[in-house]
């Protein structure tokens, strides 16, 4: 549907794009990602014909857009701009009717098909109830839907979106990208410049990573958003994992670790409850130990992937005396212990009992302990001892709590759900944090497709 060949675009005498080539298939949602100044908006404006390249060409549906009139190009490509402001106080319906301009002569009357196209666009974007309101009177999220409706009224095979989630709250970000995803499912081809890597990874079929005026990588999100490529493109320290609920590629941006180890942390987890904490602590420069865990547990696999010191017991086995001694030694050597939001049974209760000897304790509490306690009064007693001496936090605050407990030698920037993390460089990595999964009575093991399967476990979580 879209073919970009050896594109060179110069603005103010500087090359903004230099030899950029990429393709977009019909019915595909492609995200353009990259640092500020990488040329994402420039590429979109060249695809829709607003900018002429110094060299190379752009074809849409087999037509070179730069050989077409503006009206003809606008029958192939519709654009949703980054800004949602409109110059005049048109009504919502009047703003959407502008999308029919490429299909009408300058003095042509409105035809039934024009009205039908506008009606369909308004219904599809759920703005019928706003028809008579001024575009300056509605919210930013509503205005974004109006601009998408205007693009749909153009009835083009291709829709370009420039930062469609910019300045929107998380609810409107999701609604906007869900709508685009649905439109693609119905046959539209969409290309969007998206600042937030996690939203791009979740919603897009493919990503094109722009950096240094060229395409650094192109392909499925899992192939493009790798830690080495993110460091090369953004000059940032980033951890790449999978979201525990959606299975999508998940990027967390961290500040560069300070020289030397920031401290030693032991983590008590199981059933995937500690996987993200392990990633974050390791990337932040801490020396991390974990256990005891069952062989085959998700947290065990995560720890080994990160090269961490992990105490294990056989699958389905409880923490025996030998493993307990190993855990005790790790706790004694640690500056702090993090107890994840893990389910507790008789099999893994010794982990909690060992954690009580720690100098500093951080408890991650996303669910009430009563909902994940399968060890009865012994479990309650062990957890009460931890709570008396520890600091209880939600998952997004773990790094901040550890920094407070261990000391300020390596400040950690922890983001809250829905917020953006932007390291203080020109090449910022923008991400949003999402909520993880919860389990009920059994260990939830995320597979490679983001789904989950369940089996009981004792050293890691659940009932014995």
pLDDT at 456 over 60: no
152 to each of 79, 346, 409, how far by Cα in Å? 10, 59, 53
d(Cα 150, Cα 78) in Å, to the nearest integer?
9
What pLDDT, on the 0 to 100 scale, is given for residue 244?
A: 65
Query: 240 or 414, which is more confident?
Result: 240
Instruction: Tell the residue number behind the tokens 């500040």, with chain if given.
Output: 255
| 219 and 138 belong to one structural domain | yes
pLDDT digits (tens, 9 = 90+) for 272-281: 899 889 988 8
If pLDDT is split at 50, 70 and 90, which confidence band does 463 have?
Answer: very low
Q: What is the pLDDT of residue 261?
A: 55
Report if residue 404 sits inside a domain: yes
Whether 245 is covered by a domain: the verdict is no
Could you tell me if 258 and 182 lie in one domain?
A: no
pLDDT tens-digit map of 352-361:
999 999 989 9
Q: Is residue 361 part of a domain?
A: yes
Parent domain of 128:
2-228
* Residue 214 sits in the same domain as residue 269: no
> By the 8 A CB rule, do 178 and 210 touch?
no
Query: Is pLDDT at 454 greater than 60 in this prediction?
Result: no
**Residues contacting residue 174 through CB under 8 Å, at least 6 positions apart:** none
Q: Give the end of a domain, one of 228, 262, 285.
A: 228
The enclosing domain of 313 has a CATH number of: 3.40.50.720
Q: Residue 304 has what pLDDT?
A: 83
Indicate whether 239 belongs to any domain. Answer: no
> Is residue 457 predicted with pLDDT exceeding 80?
no
Q: For residue 153, what pLDDT band results from cuts at 50, 70 and 90?
A: very high
Q: What is the pLDDT of residue 282?
A: 86
Tally of domains in the chain: 2
Structural tokens at position 91: 């009504």
pLDDT number for residue 87: 62
Per-residue pLDDT tens digits for 28-63: 999 999 999 999 999 999 999 999 999 999 999 999
Of the two residues 75 and 398, the one the predictor is more confident about is 75
Tell me if 264 is assigned to some domain. Answer: yes
Residue 460 lies in a domain: no
Q: β-pairing, 309-313 with 214-219?
A: unpaired
Instruction: For 105-147, write each residue's pLDDT tens digit.
Output: 776 778 899 999 999 999 999 999 999 999 888 988 888 899 9
Domain co-membership, 195 together with 274: no
Predicted confidence at residue 241, as pLDDT, reads: 78
> Which percentage of the chain shows pLDDT scores above 90?
58
User: In this structure, are 200 and 80 located in the same domain?
Assistant: yes
C-beta neighbour count of 293 within 10 angstroms: 32
Are 221 and 259 within one domain? no
- Lowest mean pLDDT of 167-181, 388-402, 446-460, name the range: 446-460
CA distance 243 to 450: 8
Q: What is the mean pLDDT of residues 207-229?
A: 95
| Separation CA 59–CA 52 (nearest Å) | 13
> pLDDT tens digit string along 226-270?
989 999 999 887 778 777 678 888 887 765 655 445 789 999 999
**Out of 91-95, 124-128, 164-168, 340-344, least confident range:** 164-168
Which pLDDT score, from 0 to 100, does residue 49 have?
Answer: 94
Does the pLDDT of residue 184 top 80, yes or no? yes
Task: Please tell me whether residues 117 and 159 are part of one structural domain.
Answer: yes
How many C-beta neighbours within 10 Å does residue 228 have? 9
Does residue 112 fall inside a structural domain? yes
Q: Are residues 91 and 214 in the same domain?
A: yes
Q: What's the confidence (pLDDT) of residue 233?
A: 95
Q: Is the pLDDT of residue 412 over 50?
A: no
Using 50, 70 and 90 to split pLDDT, how confident is the model at 421? very low
C-alpha angle 189-191-195 in degrees, rounded to nearest 5: 150
Neighbouring CB atoms inside 10 A of 185's CB total: 10
CATH number of the domain where residue 111 is located: 3.40.50.300
Check whether residue 345 and residue 402 sit in a common domain.
yes
Same domain, 266 and 182: no
The three-state secondary structure class of 293 is strand
- Please check the confidence at residue 283 and state whether its pLDDT lies above 90: no
Same-domain check for residues 90 and 219: yes
Work out the average pLDDT over 333-356: 93
Residue 257 located in a structural domain: yes
Q: Measuring CA to CA, which residue among 207, 249, 202 is closest to residue 224?
A: 207
Confidence bin at 22 (pLDDT 50/70/90): very high
- 219 forms beta bridges with 207
Residue 424 has pLDDT above 50, yes or no: no
Same-domain status, 114 and 262: no
């Amino acid at each position: 549907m879209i073919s970009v060949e050896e594109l060179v675009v110069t603005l103010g005498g500087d090359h903004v794009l230099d030899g950029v080539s990429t393709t977009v298939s019909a019915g595909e949602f492609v995200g353009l990602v990259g640092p500020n100044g990488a040329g994402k908006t420039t590429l979109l404006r060249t695809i829709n014909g607003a900018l002429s390249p110094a060299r190379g060409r752009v074809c849409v549906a087999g037509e070179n857009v730069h050989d077409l009139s503006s009206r003809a190009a606008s029958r192939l490509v519709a654009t949703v701009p980054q800004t949602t402001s409109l110059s005049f106080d048109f009504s919502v319906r009047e703003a959407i009717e502008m999308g029919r301009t490429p299909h009408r002569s300058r003095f042509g009357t409105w035809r039934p098909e024009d009205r039908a196209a506008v009606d369909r666009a308004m219904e599809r974007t759920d703005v019928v109830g706003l028809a008579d309101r001024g575009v300056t009177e509605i919210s930013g999220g509503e205005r974004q839907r109006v601009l998408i409706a205007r693009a749909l009224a153009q009835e083009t095979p291709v829709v370009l979106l420039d930062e469609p989630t910019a300045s929107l709250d998380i609810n409107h970000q999701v609604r906007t990208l869900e709508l685009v995803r649905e439109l693609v499912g119905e046959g539209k081809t969409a290309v969007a410049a998206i600042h937030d890597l996690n939203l791009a990874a979740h919603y897009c079929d493919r990503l094109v990573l722009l950096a240094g005026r060229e395409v650094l990588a192109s392909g499925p999100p899992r192939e493009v958003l790798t830690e080495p490529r993110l460091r090369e493109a953004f000059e940032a320290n980033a951890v790449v994992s999978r979201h525990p609920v959606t299975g999508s590629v998940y990027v967390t941006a961290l500040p560069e670790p300070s020289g030397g180890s920031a401290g030693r942390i032991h983590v008590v987890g199981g059933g995937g409850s500690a996987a993200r904490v392990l990633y974050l602590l390791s990337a932040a420069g801490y020396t991390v130990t974990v256990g005891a865990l069952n062989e085959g547990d998700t947290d065990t696999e995560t720890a080994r992937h990160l090269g961490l010191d992990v105490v294990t017991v056989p699958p389905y086995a409880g923490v025996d005396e030998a493993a307990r001694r190993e855990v005790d030694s790790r706790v004694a050597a640690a500056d702090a212990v993090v107890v994840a939001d893990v389910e507790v049974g008789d099999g893994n209760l010794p982990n909690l009992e060992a954690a009580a000897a720690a100098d500093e304790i951080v408890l991650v509490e996303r669910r009430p302990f009563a909902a994940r306690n399968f060890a009865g009064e012994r479990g309650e007693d062990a957890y009460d001892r931890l709570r008396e001496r520890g600091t209880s936090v939600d998952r997004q605050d773990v790094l901040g709590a550890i920094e407070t407990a261990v000391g300020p030698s390596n400040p950690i920037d922890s983001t809250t759900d829905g917020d953006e993390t932007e390291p203080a460089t020109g090449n910022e990595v923008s991400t949003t944090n999402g909520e993880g999964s919860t389990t009920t009575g059994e260990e939830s093991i995320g597979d490679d497709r983001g789904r989950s399967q369940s089996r009981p476990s004792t050293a890691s979580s659940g009932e014995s």
